Amino acid sequence: MAQAFRRAYDGLAAFKTRWVTQSHRLHRGTGEASCGAAIPFCFSGALSMKRYSLLCLLLPALVACQNAPPTDSVYLSADEKAAVLAMAKTDDLAAIRRLIAHYEAGPAEAVAVENWRARARKLGDPQELYHHAARRFAQAQDEPDPEQRAAFFAEALAAAQKSHAGSGDPSTMLLVAQIERAQEQDALPVPSPDVDRSQ
């Protein structure tokens, strides 16, 4: 499962990232991408009370449309893992995706998951590029440092655009538009407070 970005954002941030990944991995190409399409809009950015309430309202619907397979169906036996790992090392994208699903199903596999996700992104996997874009987008909106926030936005946009180029998925185009809009708003100058000079 996805890991939390920071302790203060732990539970819900990890949940958000998990839904972004799983919804698009399971539903892309099946006519059910609308479940995932709503995720970046609802979960991106700092978690205000309004968004928390929206999360609570949308959770039952997301659970209903997820319909994820049981853990046993993605967890590999030792022999299966060895075979899939050998294929993944040859940059077989299907095998890499299978390994990612396996590691997500098991405990304490954060490093392995991230390593294989990075490899999948390098190979141009639209699903992992989308996942990375959504995660960086959320980090950007929760980042107080302007330079780091701009870097997160840029990384998120590049990953989302590359994902869309490889898949043409409408939900990815929605994420691209949301990142671009957030970038524009972030670049706007902060108005100076009015100073009362009458005294």
- The answer as to whether 2 is a domain residue is no
Cα(141)–Cα(47) distance, rounded to whole angstroms?
9
Report the range of poorest mean pLDDT among 54-68, 108-122, 166-180. Answer: 54-68
pLDDT 10s digits, 32-49: 333 444 444 444 444 454
- The answer as to whether 77 is a domain residue is yes
pTM over 0.85: no
Residue 154 burial (10 A CB sphere; 0-12, 13-18, 19+):
middle
Instruction: Work out the number of other CB atoms within 10 angstroms of the CB of residue 22.
Output: 21
Of 185 and 195, more confident? 185
- The residue segments making up the domain with residue 160 are 7-186
- The answer as to whether 196 is a domain residue is no
Structural domain total, the chain: 1
- The answer as to whether 76 is a domain residue is yes
- The answer as to whether 194 is a domain residue is no
pLDDT 10s digits, 51-97: 544 444 444 444 444 444 555 578 888 899 999 999 999 999 999 99
What the block records as the tokens of 111 is: 């490093």
Cα(27)–Cα(161) distance, rounded to whole angstroms?
19
Give pLDDT, residue 137.
Answer: 96
Give pLDDT, residue 189.
Answer: 72
Give pLDDT, residue 127.
Answer: 93
Contact present, 140 and 156 (Cβ < 8 Å):
yes
DSSP letter assigned to residue 125? -
pLDDT 10s digits, 18-32: 444 444 444 444 333
Which residue matches tokens 């990890």?
14
Contact present, 125 and 167 (Cβ < 8 Å):
no
Give the chain's count of helices (H) and strands (E).
9, 0
- The answer as to whether 195 is a domain residue is no
- The answer as to whether 199 is a domain residue is no
Cα(197)–Cα(188) distance, rounded to whole angstroms?
26
Q: What is the mean pLDDT of the chain?
A: 73
- The answer as to whether 38 is a domain residue is yes
pLDDT 10s digits, 128-137: 999 999 999 9
Give pLDDT, residue 193.
Answer: 56
